[in-house]
């Protein structure tokens, strides 16, 4: 499969639509599942991993679903292609470059559904929705789980539920997360306090690219920690309640910004656009920070000639692997920063002339 | 031997197979056996967790640490890596895992989704096994009418109506 054809698409999580999409970027539900008669990945030999891959691959590609899942052999991908799929949130960094041996990822045309094979668990199912749509994501992944179960016997225990390689995932095997854009709360430094209170109720906050990554571009993922003893619907309800509260705080902080320092914000947004459109070297970090400011500017109507989906496109296209694919050549760090700046200059000039 | 479900003496001894080399013995009186055979589903819940008991001697190595007979994992290895080796480990190291699970999740009992098709599939496997046994004995007894009936039932099980 030539992954380049995905380049023009935004993927489900960056479509920029859906409920509360001024703050909620995307909702995601993941399920960990394991075959009943196979050792977990860390204890499986190459032969067993191959068998797991074959069985899951067959089940995934023949599953009775309203969409087709195309299987990609991760072991055969170039490092740039692997990174590309990580940036598109279709697979984890672990599957891309930490793990080795037979492994794969299957996903659908719209990139809303993906199944990783031979990650820490034999299967990691994922459903994405843009905006706040946890229920829809759950309904979809529940159906996917059933469809795969028709051909695969999953390890299930009467007391412990779905069995996983790590006891932190046992039970439902479910990790539900919501990605939020919280620039106003970050600006007013209220965010630290908020996150400390979340930890007390067993929710985890992470940066954009999952475990261990720090928040960049004011993007935060909030997810559940507990998988044993609470039903899926109860966990989703708990997350929904917290998210509703955070949305309220962020909206209030945004209104306060407008009321108390509108001129200063206007200036900050204009400078962000200015830098993005004129820099000759720019890192991915700085790009994400500036795009965060531009995104906030759009939401606050301080800037109205740029649609939010354009920000999403600039966001994904300036990630390392996307950039290298767009340029058609591998680039080292310095070269990337120059190529990124050039891409942003050209795109913003195009958009400017197109709009006027 | 007493019936496993009531105080009457057990006169039926049934071995059921639940796919993937999982067996379960039932020792039942005639009445309970009939109820059981009429409705194999009822016994499945119990059977799902019923991995056969393991001889203790096999589980202890020279350092006195348990290991899993299926994947060979020792508990100390789990302590170091944080990863279990196979689904069996949850039973092998149950005593050690319980406090850990309680610590992580504040609970030790699953309260969510259960496989929807697996119980049906296992029920079918058990039923198929039972019918095959009856079929063999019918053939031995040259009860060919009975054998034909059993063969039809087996064919029905192999080709279930979709969505059943
Ligand atoms: Zn009885
Ligand atoms: Zn084991």
Tell me which residue range forms the domain holding B30: 1-52
More confident residue, B1 or A349: A349
pLDDT at residue A244 in the model: 93
In a mutational test of the A interface, the residue from B24, B67, B71, B84 whose CB has the highest number of chain A CBs within 10 Å is: B84
Nearest residue to B38 (alpha-carbon basis) of B3, B20, B6, B14: B14
Query: Is the domain of B6 the same as that of B24?
Result: yes
In a mutational test of the B interface, the residue from A41, A147, A160, A234 whose CB has the highest number of chain B CBs within 10 Å is: A160
Nearest residue to B123 (alpha-carbon basis) of B9, B51, B36, B58: B36
Contact B105 A146 (CB under 8 A): no
Task: Give me chain A's average pLDDT, please.
Answer: 91
Answer yes or no: is B154 within a domain.
Answer: yes
Q: Report domain extents, chain A.
A: 261-355
Residue A75 and residue B50: Cα distance in Å, rounded? 38
Query: Is the domain of B42 the same as that of B65?
Result: no
How many other CB atoms are found less than 10 A from the CB of residue B136?
12
Q: Residue A353 pLDDT > 70, yes or no?
A: no
pLDDT at residue B40 in the model: 46
Query: Is the domain of B77 the same as that of B98?
Result: yes
Q: Which residues of B touch A160 (CB under 8 A)?
A: 90, 101, 108, 110
Query: Is the domain of B26 the same as that of B69?
Result: no
By the 10 Å C-beta count (0-12 exposed, 13-18 middle, 19+ buried), B113 is classed as buried
**Minimal Cα–Cα distance from B57 to chain A, Å?**
23
Please give the distance, rounded to the nearest whole angstrom, from the Cα atom of residue B135 to the centre of ligand 2.
Answer: 37
Q: Do B43 and B67 contact (CB within 8 A), yes or no? A: no
Give me the interface pTM, i.e. the ipTM: 0.88
pLDDT at residue B68 in the model: 94
Residue A147 and residue A356: Cα distance in Å, rounded? 50
**Which chain B residue lies closest to A225 (C-alpha atoms)?**
B105
If you average pLDDT over residues B151-160, what whole number do you get?
74
Taking the CA atoms of A148, A149, A151 and A155 in sequence, report the sign of the dihedral they define: positive
Answer yes or no: is B48 within a domain.
Answer: yes
- Paired with A196 in beta bridges are none
The correct CATH number of A261-355 out of 1.20.120, 3.55.40, 2.30.30, 1.25.10 is 1.20.120
DSSP B74: B
- Overall number of domains in chain B: 3
Sorted by sequence, the CB contacts under 8 Å of residue B154 that are 6+ apart come out as B128, B131, B132, B135
If you average pLDDT over residues A275-290, what whole number do you get?
94
Which residue, of B76, B92, B112, is where some domain finishes? B112
Q: Do A103 and A53 contact (CB within 8 A), yes or no? A: yes
Query: Is the domain of B29 the same as that of B70?
Result: no
Sorted by sequence, the CB contacts under 8 Å of residue A317 that are 6+ apart come out as A323, A326, A343, A347
pTM: 0.78
pLDDT tens digits, residue range A161-174?
Answer: 999 999 999 999 99
Query: Is the domain of B13 the same as that of B33?
Result: yes
């Amino acid at each position: 499969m030539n992954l380049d054809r995905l380049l023009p698409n935004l993927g489900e999580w960056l479509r920029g639509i859906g409920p509360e999409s001024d703050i909620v970027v995307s909702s995601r539900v993941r399920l960990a599942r394991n075959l009943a008669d196979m050792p977990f990945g860390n204890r499986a030999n190459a032969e067993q991993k191959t068998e797991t891959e074959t069985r899951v691959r067959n089940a995934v590609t023949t599953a009775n679903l309203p969409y087709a899942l195309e299987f990609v052999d991760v072991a055969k991908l170039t490092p740039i292609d692997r990174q590309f799929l990580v940036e598109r949130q279709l697979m984890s960094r672990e599957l891309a470059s930490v793990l080795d041996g037979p492994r794969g990822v299957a996903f659908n045309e719209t990139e809303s559904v993906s199944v990783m094979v031979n990650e820490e668990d034999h299967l990691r199912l994922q459903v994405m929705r843009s905006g706040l749509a946890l229920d829809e994501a759950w309904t979809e992944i529940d159906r996917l789980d059933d469809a795969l179960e028709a051909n695969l016997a999953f390890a299930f225990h009467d007391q412990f539920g779905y069995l996983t390689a790590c006891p932190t995932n046992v039970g439902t095997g479910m990790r539900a997360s919501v990605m939020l854009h919280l620039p106003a709360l970050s600006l007013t430094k209220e965010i630290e306090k908020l996150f400390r209170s979340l930890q007390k109720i067993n929710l985890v906050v992470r940066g954009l690219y999952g475990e261990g990554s720090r928040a960049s571009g004011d993007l935060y993922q909030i997810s559940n920690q507990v998988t044993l003893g609470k039903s899926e619907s109860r966990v989703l309800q708990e997350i929904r309640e917290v998210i509703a509260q955070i949305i309220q705080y962020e909206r209030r902080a945004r209104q306060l910004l407008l009321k108390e320092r509108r001129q200063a914000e206007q200036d900050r947004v204009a400078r962000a656009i200015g830098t993005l459109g004129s820099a000759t070297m720019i890192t991915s970090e700085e790009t994400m920070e500036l795009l965060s400011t531009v995104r906030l500017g759009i939401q606050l109507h301080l800037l109205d000639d740029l649609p939010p989906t354009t920000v999403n496109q600039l966001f994904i296209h300036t990630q390392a692997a996307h950039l290298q694919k767009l340029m058609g050549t591998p680039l080292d760090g310095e070269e990337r920063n120059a190529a990124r700046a050039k891409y942003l200059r050209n795109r913003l000039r195009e958009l400017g002339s197109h709009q006027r | 031997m007493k019936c496993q479900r009531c105080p009457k003496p057990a006169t039926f001894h049934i071995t059921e197979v639940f796919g993937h080399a999982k067996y379960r013995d039932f020792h039942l009186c005639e009445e309970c056996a009939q109820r059981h055979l009429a409705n194999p589903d009822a016994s499945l819940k119990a059977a799902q967790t019923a991995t056969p008991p393991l001889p203790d001697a096999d589980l202890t190595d020279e350092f006195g640490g348990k290991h899993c007979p299926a994947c060979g994992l020792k508990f100390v290895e789990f302590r170091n890596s944080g990863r279990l080796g196979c689904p069996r480990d949850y039973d092998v190291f149950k005593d050690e895992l319980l406090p850990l699970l309680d610590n992580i999740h504040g609970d030790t009992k699953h309260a969510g989704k259960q496989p929807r098709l697996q119980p049906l599939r296992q029920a079918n496997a058990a039923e198929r096994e039972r019918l095959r046994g009856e079929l063999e004995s019918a053939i031995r007894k040259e009860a060919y009418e009975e054998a034909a009936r059993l063969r039809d039932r087996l064919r029905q099980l192999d080709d279930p109506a979709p969505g059943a």
